[in-house]
Amino acid sequence: MPFSAKTSMTVATATAALLCTITSGRAEDAWTPADWVEEETIELGTTEPGEDLYEFPVWLVVIDGDVYVRLGSSATEKVEESTTKPYMTVKIAEKEFSKIEGIPEPDKAEQVAQLMGDKYWSDIFIRFAPHPLTLRLEPR
């Protein structure tokens, strides 16, 4: 039975998608913040001019299905100077994401700080350090 042009295109598209998945080692993971409420850290990756990818762990909280991070001065500098700004890489719960946008959320800073204090006992020491940037993380 001969294939139609439409069937041939569908087979070719499916084959190409399968080859991309096989050669890249894995498909992009699913962004599922509700699964990460209990996670201790999330690893952000940024790239400064002339440098390799720099990855660093930060605490996270999930609010209304969105992931938020609160960054200290050094981490804020890494994010602000990144050649891929506003995008970064993210690793969490054995999942990797190659293009996550960090959206500044200054109006959420107080709520995020409160939830960080509730979640992390050692925040009693860290809360007094400057945290100039609160971000909501969104996949793109």
For residue 124, how far is the Cα from the chain centroid?
Answer: 26
Q: Judge whether 55 and 91 are in contact, CB under 8 Å.
A: yes
**Residue 15 pLDDT greater than 60, yes or no:** no
CA distances from residue 8 to 21, 22, 60, 132 in whole angstroms, order as listed: 20, 21, 46, 54
Could you identify the residue written with the tokens 């992390």?
120
**Residue 12 pLDDT greater than 50, yes or no:** no
Q: Which SS3 state, helix, strand or coil, does residue 69 take?
A: strand
Counting residues of the chain whose pLDDT is more than 90, the rounded percentage is 72
Q: For residue 124, name the pLDDT band (cuts at 50, 70, 90).
A: confident
* pLDDT value of residue 28: 72
Counting residues of the chain whose pLDDT is more than 70, the rounded percentage is 81
User: Could you report how far apart the first and last alpha carbons of the chain are, in Å?
Assistant: 42
Q: How far, in Å, CA of 124 to CA of 73, rounded?
A: 18
> For the residues 123-132, what does the mean pLDDT come to?
88
Domains of the chain: residue spans and CATH: 33-139 (2.30.110.10)
Q: What does the pLDDT look like over 31-53, one tens digit per residue?
A: 999 999 999 999 999 998 889 99
**Residue 16 pLDDT greater than 80, yes or no:** no
Half-sphere exposure of 95 (CA within 13 A, CB side): 18
Q: What does the pLDDT look like over 63-77, one tens digit per residue?
A: 999 999 999 999 999
Q: What residues contact residue 110 under an 8 Å CB cut-off, 6+ apart?
A: none
Q: Judge whether 57 and 43 are in contact, CB under 8 Å.
A: yes
